[in-house]
A and B are shown apart, each in its own frame.
Chain A
Amino acid sequence: MARERRYIGKRIKRKEDPRLITGKGLYVDDIHLPGMVYAAFLRPPYAHARIKSIDTSKAEKIPGVIGVFTGEYFKDKVAPLTTAWALTNADLKPVKWPVVAYDKVRFTGDIVAVVVAEDPYTAYDALEAIEVEYEPLPVVVDVEEAVKPGAPQLHDEAPGNIAFKWTFRGGRDFDEVAKEADIIVKKRFINQRLIPSAMETRAAVASYNPATGELTVWVTSQNPHVHRLIMASVLGIPEHKLRVIAPDVGGGFGSKIPVYPGEVIVARLAMDLGRPVKWVETRRENFLGTIHGRDHVDYVEVAAKKNGEVLGVRVRTLANLGAYISTAAPGVPTILFGLMLSGPYKIKSVDVEVKGVLTNTTPVDAYRGAGRPEATYILERMMDIVARRLGMDPADVRRVNLIEKAPYTAVTGLTYDSGRYLEVFEKALKIAEYYKWREVQSEERRKGRLIGIGISSYIEMCGLAPSRIARATGFGLGLWESVLVRVHPTGKVSVYTGSHPHGQGEETSFAQIVAEELGIPIEDVEIVHGDTAQTPFGMGTYGSRTTPVGGAAVYRAVAKIKEKARKIAAALLEAREEDIEFSEGKFYVKGHPEKSVTFQDVALAAYTADKLPPDVEPGLEAIAFYDPENFTFPYGTHIAVVEVDPETFKVKILRYVAVDDAGVIINPLLAEGQVHGGVVQGIAQALYEYAVYDENGNLLTAGFNDYMIPTALDVPNIESYFEETPAPHNPLGAKGIGETGTIAATPAVVNAVLDALAHLGIEHIDMPLTPYRIWKALKEAGLLEKLKAGGE
């Protein structure tokens, strides 16, 4: 491998950008079909209520209204939605989500009626003319209230509002290791509810051809094939008659994985009305009806020795699932959370128990990081608190605990296949000038400035996932990925992938892999994705899987192309196949570089087919289904330096350094972009964002005025560095970079803020660390005076 790489590892500008920077992208809302009509959804003013009657007559009379449809209409035509992750050994309850409510509403994002009209303005007018009589029912939004006896019950199928109970024990018994510990630290952490807030809201357009029975649905999806499979099932139509197209998708972060009522409703109505139907979610609906993330109450116990060694972790979690169990929801606070609770550390005991709890709130599902940020937050907060209680530097506590060598079988049973945890940790400290900042901190503290330094060392399981493991946990499908590589007669290449990037840039990075391996210009490669009629069945884009799993499939398919091309080249060069070498896009006879044919010559010969060896079929295409042997385990250390204003309590990030090892980086430009965006979402959880419900189940933060996603003024520059330890089992050596930032950043920033307040005696404040919460914590601890006096 002495050959210089031309594409892999290079900062290549994106192939998708020319259309997106000129306004020529195609998002679902940009689709306009002849005869198209518009749907709008009525959502209830109550979070929990019985529907007594619905009067649609006034709405139906409004000129331009085509029809108004209630739950009764859909009840027998469309099956209710259920989760696709049927968690095993957890007593998962079969909760059903009717696409339009007919007896009860269980959260304010439920749908009680659908208007279809000639234009969207009229559809929204008509919503206001629908009269619904409700019988309000008692509401529960808080998980700790929801599990109490006598709490309002959401579903008959789930007594006590418990949707599942999942336990996991790894390594030694916690109580045993606790006996060897010098300190036991107990904490209750709230990992607050977040709202993914992709800039494009969800949308769907459906069109039906009664003559062929073909239904086409354009939908904002991260996984069009999964959408097709589930939608075909709930609509009761044959899978091959349903075509799902996810065109350009304006961000997802997990929120466009699930199948929701909206797309199912427009699909059914397009069939019934004989006209294409479009629905575009309003931003308010996006807040109410599209999944939320996180939302745990975690009771944590950590057993540690005097030298900082953490022996064991015991966690009891109540995970808020919202009103229904969304597509992937059961796996998030369990598999993706519990198995990460030993982190990059040599912890000897992990003991987790998670209850999935139903409440009158928006369903919670995978939001960027999905379970892994929650686990990392617990561990990294605890590392700092242990350090504090033992009077140690937080860096030293991590040095004691970090795994020295990979491969390493963690106490959870996961085998971390590759990594230099300590080395990367030290590198981050060095780049961020950790010890210099410690000096600055103590000097400035004397002047009354509150500076804090926060460390976060993380590991994540991603590259989801080996199918046998996915299936063993109850996931509805395997988690392999597919790629079809089609070489055209002119040597140009189309690649059809089951992945579905929606901002990550794999139209470019996959093309880099193909161009590198075939020795052809990147301009000759086109990546096609998002259309079930064009691409082989695939699992989509989430869980940092697109490069390590989808990209590996690209590599494997291209290898098959090369194998066949070599046979054809041998025939063309009248040489033995084993004497044929391939380099820089040319096949040549070993030792005779003058005797060569180009990849393009071979492609043409594959189609003219008159000079093929007898055992070789015409054409040049190959399909690969890549099922990973193991998860991949990106890891790294992030360091945040913050300043808390002692008068306004506003937090400013002075420096943010990310050092990530995501294995081989295909395109550093794009990988850095993933880190930047991920880190900012992590910072947002630490400092700004939280979904707030009132006691009646009204979402008080139901728009960008009240739910604070950061603007450019609220976040710092992010310094991103990579270490590359190839994943040994992955053909590309890639591990995935989509979620590292979000996982690492939240505790880095929270640790930094609490480090700034440490000398005052504040140990913990729950997120987000808004000025109000910091002020309140200081006030309640009677520390405001101490702060004024300089904190000494």
Chain B
Amino acid sequence: MEGEGLEVVEVSMKVNGKPVKAKVPARMLLVHFLRDVLGLTGTHVGCDTSNCGACTVIMNGKAVKSCTVFAFMADGAEILTIEGLAQNGKLHPIQEAFWENHGLQCGFCTPGMIMTLYDFLNRNPEPTEEEVRRAIEGNLCRCTGYVNIVRSALAAAEKMRAVGRWVKGGA
């Protein structure tokens, strides 16, 4: 089975501010590395085709679908997952906004949705509703009809504008 990704590679990266190192098969996806090797199960897998966005994490400051990245590709990277978003036990404004605006129901798409918005609101602190909808186009939700997700995103942007800056998550 040579050449099929079975060779073991060493990867090291910073996940939620902590350095981690592990030997994994070259074909292991980043999402499985996070979930199964590091036990960070907040990042979910909702499809096999990079459509749903449930696995979205922040890699070197940008939102990526971690089912579409091999673990070795994240070697040396800084990763932020949903578990690392709150700071010293204080929810991130996006998390607060989702809670206050009923931006989630079953919660399965929520971590990916929040991480996508974390990246987006950094780049666009004053989005219109249309821009928010465009930003989360790659994240599917089957429960909310997106109404309260959009509301949450706009409320989160408002919260961050109120403190005068985009809020960096994690340690």
Is A524 in contact with chain B by the CB < 8 A criterion? no
Instruction: Enumerate chain B residues within 8 angstroms of A717, measured Cβ to Cβ.
Output: 129, 147, 150
Question: Which one of A199, A282, A283, A713 contacts B142 once the chains associate, using CB atoms below 8 Å?
Answer: A199
Cβ-neighbour of A676 out of B48, B132, B137, B148 (below 8 A): B148
Known interface pairs A248-B107, A704-B47; A711-B137 also in contact (CB < 8 Å)? yes
Q: How far is the CA of A711 from the CA of B130 in the complex (A)?
A: 12
In whole angstroms, how far apart are the Cα atoms of A14 and B46 in the complex? 23
Q: How many residues of B contact A (CB 8 A)?
A: 60
Bitwise interface map of A from 659 to 678 toward B, beta carbon under 8 Å scored 1, else 0: 00000000001101100111
The distance in angstroms between the C-alpha atoms of A677 and B83, with both chains bound, is 26
Chain B positions 46 through 58: 1 when the CB is less than 8 Å from some CB of chain A, otherwise 0 = 1111011010000
Q: Which of B50-102 contact A (CB under 8 A)?
A: 51-52, 54, 81-83, 85-86, 91, 95, 98-100, 102
| Closest A residue to B141 using CB positions | A199
Check if A125 sits within 8 Å of B1, measured CB to CB.
yes
Question: In chain A, what residue has the closest Cβ to B29?
Answer: A121
Verify if B133 is at the interface (C-beta below 8 Å from A): yes
**Residue A313 is within 8 A (CB to CB) of chain B in the complex:** no
Q: Mark A295-329, 1 if CB is under 8 A from B, else 0.
A: 00000000000000000000000000000000000
Which residues of A445-479 have CB atoms within 8 Å of chain B's CB atoms?
none
Contact status of A22 and B100, CB under 8 A, knowing A199-B142, A284-B48, A502-B106: no
Stretch at the interface among A23-31, A400-408, A606-614, A722-730: A23-31
B102 touches A703 (CB 8 A): no
Which chain B residues lie closer than 8 Å to A32 at the CB level?
36, 39
Decide yes or no whether B128 CB sits under 8 A from chain A.
Answer: no
Q: Contacts A14-B102, A712-B136 given: A718-B147 contact, CB under 8 Å?
A: yes
A505 within 8 A of B: yes
Contact indicator B106/A249 (Cβ below 8 Å):
yes
Q: Are A22 and B91 in contact, CB atoms less than 8 angstroms apart?
A: yes
The interface residues of chain A lying within 8 Å CB-to-CB of B134 are 712-713
A229 adjacent to chain B (CB < 8 Å): no
Nearest to A711 among chain B residues (CB) is B137
Contacts of B132 in A (CB 8 A): 712
Q: Contact check, A199 vs B52: say whether CB atoms are below 8 A apart.
A: yes
Complex partner residue of B146 from A14, A505, A672, A715, CB under 8 angstroms: A715
Query: B145 CB to closest chain A CB, in angstroms?
Result: 3
Q: Which of B47, B91, B107 contacts A250 (CB 8 A)?
A: B107
Do A121 and B133 form a contact, CB below 8 Å, given A199-B54, A199-B106, A249-B106? no
Q: Does B125 contact A (CB under 8 A)?
A: no
- B-side contacts of A713, CB under 8 Å: 133-134, 137
Give every chain B residue within 8 A of A672 (Cβ-Cβ): 102, 148
Chain B residues, Cβ within 8 Å of A29: 35, 41, 44-45
Provide 22 A-B residue pairs closer than 8 Å at the C-beta atoms, listed in order of the A residue. Answer: A17-B99, A21-B82, A21-B91, A22-B42, A25-B107, A27-B108, A29-B44, A125-B1, A198-B108, A199-B46, A199-B106, A199-B141, A248-B107, A283-B46, A673-B144, A677-B143, A678-B145, A704-B140, A705-B49, A711-B136, A712-B137, A717-B150
Please name 11 further chain A to chain B contacts, defined as beta carbons within 8 Å, in addition to the given A199-B106, A712-B150, A741-B145, sorted by A numbering.
A13-B99, A21-B91, A21-B98, A29-B35, A125-B1, A200-B44, A502-B106, A672-B102, A673-B105, A713-B134, A717-B147
Residues of B with Cβ closer than 8 Å to A? 1, 4, 25, 27-28, 35-36, 39-49, 51-52, 54, 81-83, 85-86, 91, 95, 98-100, 102, 104-111, 114, 129, 132-134, 136-150
Residues of chain A at the chain B interface (Cβ within 8 Å): 13-14, 16-18, 20-27, 29-30, 32, 121, 125, 197-201, 248-251, 253, 280, 282-284, 502-505, 669-670, 672-673, 676-681, 703-705, 709, 711-713, 715, 717-718, 741
Nearest first, the 8 closest Cβ-Cβ pairs linking A and B are A23-B42, A250-B108, A20-B107, A680-B145, A503-B106, A704-B51, A23-B82, A503-B105
